[in-house]
A and B are shown apart, each in its own frame.
Chain A
């Protein structure tokens, strides 16, 4: 199972909005509504931001939102803040009954 494809890096200024894409195939993202997004700060364990494509767990800011179209999922962050600077990972359930992660995207807040 190949890793999902994410851009290596994105950047934005405080207050702006950015989107991170995550591209897979019909065997993962395109075939199931089980896409999740996690945020990871350096030296810390990942934190769940989005589950099942667009669901935000309790306590996660509504500045984070998720969507999916075909084989591509997206994470959008609005009103960028300095503390959003982190690595972001998508993952998806697969037809092999496994989970596959994207390679990760480093977000820089300028």
Chain B
């Protein structure tokens, strides 16, 4: 069974850093692009980043470009989101998801999400 699980979310002060992890199992991880999508409390979904199958290519939403870095380790079946210079408006549930079609938004499997709270 396909399974994605995020971890690493916690409360952090503005300006701080945090690394989220996404553990994958039940499928050939290296065959799929992986994405991060976030959802602020009570608000809608926002796509924020993705990494290609081999990890050589990444793209980011304008709201996080230059502050967030996404990577993956296909030997461990993990994807990561390194977040720097965190701001209160980064507060959200962060989901990792895999896409059916390379870089598009057809996310057929999602994790359960991990909550990041940016507050002093």
| A contact residues vs B (CB 8 Å cutoff) | 1, 3, 32, 34, 36, 38, 40, 45-48, 51-52, 57, 87, 89, 91-93, 96-104
Say which residue of B95, B100, B105 sits within 8 Å of A99 (CB atoms).
B105
Given A1-B61, A99-B50, A93-B110 contact (CB < 8 Å): no
Q: What 10 A-B pairs are tightest by C-beta distance, nearest first?
A: A51-B106, A91-B105, A34-B104, A99-B105, A45-B110, A104-B44, A99-B47, A36-B106, A93-B104, A36-B105
Please encode chain B, from 67 to 94, with 1 for each CB lying within 8 Å of some chain A CB and 0 for all others.
0000000000000000000000000000
Answer whether residue B31 sits at the interface, using C-beta atoms and an 8 A cutoff: no
Please encode chain B, from 15 to 52, with 1 for each CB lying within 8 Å of some chain A CB and 0 for all others.
00000000000000000000101000000111100100
B-side binding surface: helix, strand, loop or mixed? loop
- State whether A101 touches B105 (Cβ < 8 A): yes
| B contact residues vs A (CB 8 Å cutoff) | 35, 37, 44-47, 50, 59-62, 95, 100-101, 103-108, 110-113
- State whether A38 touches B107 (Cβ < 8 A): yes
- State whether B61 touches A98 (Cβ < 8 A): yes
